[in-house]
Amino acid sequence: MDQVSAKPWLAHYDPGVPHEVEVPPIPLWRFLEDAAQRYSHHIALEFLGKTLTYAELWEKSRRFAEGLKALGVKPGDRVAIMLPNTPQFVIAFYGTLLAGGVGVNVNPLYTPRELRHQLKDSGAEILVILDHLLPRFLEVEGETPVKRTVVTGIKDFLPFPKNLLYPLKAKRDKLPLGFPKREGFHAFLDLLKHPPATPHPADPEDLALLQYTGGTTGISKGAMLTHRNLVANVLQIDAWDSTSKELLGKGVMLGALPFFHVYGMTVAMNYGIYSGYKIVLLPRPEIHAIVEAIEKHQVTHFPGVPTLYVAFNNFPGIEKRNVKSIRICLSGAAPLPVEVAKRFEEITGARLLEGYGLSEASPVTHSNPVQGEIKKGSIGMPLPSVDAKVVDEEGQEVPIGEVGELVVKGPNIMKGYWNRPEETQKALKDGWLYTGDMAKMDEDGYFYIVDRKKDMIIAGGYNIYPREVEEVLYAHPAVQEAAVVGVPDPYRGETVAAFIVLKEEYKGKVTEKDIEAFCRENLAAYKVPRIIQFRDSLPKTSVGKILRRELREEFTKRQP
82 and 184 both lie in a single domain: yes
What confidence tier does 480 reach under pLDDT thresholds 50, 70, 90? confident
Single out the residue of 297, 327, 307 nearest to residue 45, CA to CA: 297
Q: Which amino acid is at 61?
A: S
CATH classification of the domain holding 419: 2.30.38.10
More confident residue, 557 or 271: 271
Q: According to the model, what pLDDT value does residue 352 have?
A: 95
Q: According to the model, what pLDDT value does residue 216 have?
A: 44
- Distance between CA atoms of residues 148 and 140, nearest Å: 14
67 and 191 both lie in a single domain: yes
143 and 187 both lie in a single domain: yes
- 307's CB contacts (< 8 A; 6+ apart) are 334, 460, 461, 491, 492, 493
Domain assignment present for 551: yes
E runs forming strands in 273-333: 278-281, 328-331
Q: Is 327 exposed, middle or buried (0-12, 13-18, 19+ CB in 10 A)?
A: buried
Cα pseudo-dihedral 489, 490, 491, 497, rounded to 10: -10
- Distance between CA atoms of residues 249 and 297, nearest Å: 14
The segment with the largest mean pLDDT, out of 11-15, 478-482, 490-494, 556-560, is 11-15
132 and 178 both lie in a single domain: yes
417 and 439 both lie in a single domain: yes
19, 352, 450, 453 from 406: Cα distances, Å: 20, 23, 10, 10
Q: Quick one: average pLDDT of 105-112?
A: 93
Q: According to the model, what pLDDT value does residue 4 have?
A: 61
Q: What is the mean pLDDT of the chain?
A: 93
CATH classification of the domain holding 501: 3.30.300.30
CATH classification of the domain holding 98: 3.40.50.980
Single out the residue of 471, 416, 429, 406 nearest to residue 221, CA to CA: 416
Among 201, 235, 262, where does a domain finish? 201
What confidence tier does 218 reach under pLDDT thresholds 50, 70, 90? low
Domain assignment present for 408: yes
447 and 538 both lie in a single domain: no
Q: According to the model, what pLDDT value does residue 3 have?
A: 63
Alpha-helical regions (H) of 86-160: 87-98, 112-122, 134-140
546 and 409 both lie in a single domain: no
For Cα atoms 346, 348, 349, give the angle at the middle one, nearest 5 degrees: 70
What confidence tier does 339 reach under pLDDT thresholds 50, 70, 90? confident
Domain assignment present for 51: no
Q: According to the model, what pLDDT value does residue 365 have?
A: 98
Domain assignment present for 257: no
Q: Which of 138-152, 345-359, 531-545 comes out lowest in average pLDDT?
A: 531-545
Q: Which amino acid is at 67?
A: G
- Distance between CA atoms of residues 536 and 524, nearest Å: 28
Q: Quick one: average pLDDT of 13-31?
A: 98
Residue 504 pLDDT greater than 50, yes or no? yes
99 and 135 both lie in a single domain: yes
Contact 60/94 with Cβ under 8 angstroms?
Answer: no
Q: What is the pTM of this model?
A: 0.86
pLDDT digits (tens, 9 = 90+) for 34-87: 999 999 999 999 999 999 999 999 999 999 999 999 999 999 999 999 999 999
- 254's CB contacts (< 8 A; 6+ apart) are 268, 280, 282, 290, 293, 294, 299, 301, 302, 303
Q: Which residues are 498's β-sheet partners?
A: 484, 532
What confidence tier does 454 reach under pLDDT thresholds 50, 70, 90? low
Q: According to the model, what pLDDT value does residue 456 have?
A: 77
Alpha-helical regions (H) of 134-217: 134-140, 162-172, 188-191
Q: According to the model, what pLDDT value does residue 544 have?
A: 54
- Distance between CA atoms of residues 280 and 297, nearest Å: 8
Q: Quick one: average pLDDT of 312-324?
A: 94
524 and 410 both lie in a single domain: no
pLDDT digits (tens, 9 = 90+) for 397-437: 999 999 889 999 999 999 999 999 999 999 999 999 999 88
304, 346, 350, 354 from 318: Cα distances, Å: 17, 11, 14, 22
Domain assignment present for 310: no
- Go through the chain and tell me how many residues it has: 560
Single out the residue of 44, 39, 101 nearest to residue 72, CA to CA: 101
Q: According to the model, what pLDDT value does residue 453 have?
A: 59
Per cent of the chain over pLDDT 90 is: 78
Residue 182 pLDDT greater than 70, yes or no? yes
> Residue 439 sits in which domain range?
404-451
546 and 466 both lie in a single domain: yes
462 and 436 both lie in a single domain: no
Contact 92/127 with Cβ under 8 angstroms?
Answer: no
Contact 493/459 with Cβ under 8 angstroms?
Answer: yes
pLDDT digits (tens, 9 = 90+) for 359-393: 999 999 999 999 999 998 899 999 999 999 999 98
Domain assignment present for 103: yes
Residue 285 pLDDT greater than 90, yes or no? no
Among 201, 236, 256, where does a domain finish? 201
Domain assignment present for 466: yes
Residue 6 pLDDT greater than 90, yes or no? no
Among 162, 185, 201, where does a domain finish? 201
Domain assignment present for 505: yes
Number of domains in the chain: 3
Residue 541 pLDDT greater than 70, yes or no? no
549 and 442 both lie in a single domain: no
Single out the residue of 89, 98, 97 nearest to residue 128, CA to CA: 89
Q: Which amino acid is at 442?
A: D
